Amino acid sequence: WQAIDVEVVALETLGAEVVLIAAIPGLPQIDFTARLGRHYRAPIGSTQRLYMNLAEMHLFDPRTTMAVPRDM
């Protein structure tokens, strides 16, 4: 698990989960989204520390919007 601090841009409540839309401080052109539990709440603009399972992370090329292949 890897810790990362993100700035909350928006939260989308979708019933069974909340989608967090965040920015990575110092990397203004990188968007970050995370699917979190239905009870997750955070103020817009706040900094939150998330712990990510890197094996479950999906990366996308911002130019092509295609998924970046994982090394096996």
Query: pLDDT, tens digit, for every residue of 37-70?
Result: 999 999 999 999 999 888 888 888 888 999 998 8
The pLDDT assigned to 6 comes to 94
Cα 25 from Cα 13, distance rounded (Å)? 23
First to last CA, the chain: 19
Two structure tokens written together for 30: 């990188």
**Nearest residue to 9 via CA among 17, 1, 30:** 30
Cα 28 from Cα 55, distance rounded (Å)? 24
Average pLDDT, the chain: 90
The pLDDT assigned to 72 comes to 52
Residues 6+ apart with CB under 8 A from 5: 25, 47, 48, 49, 50
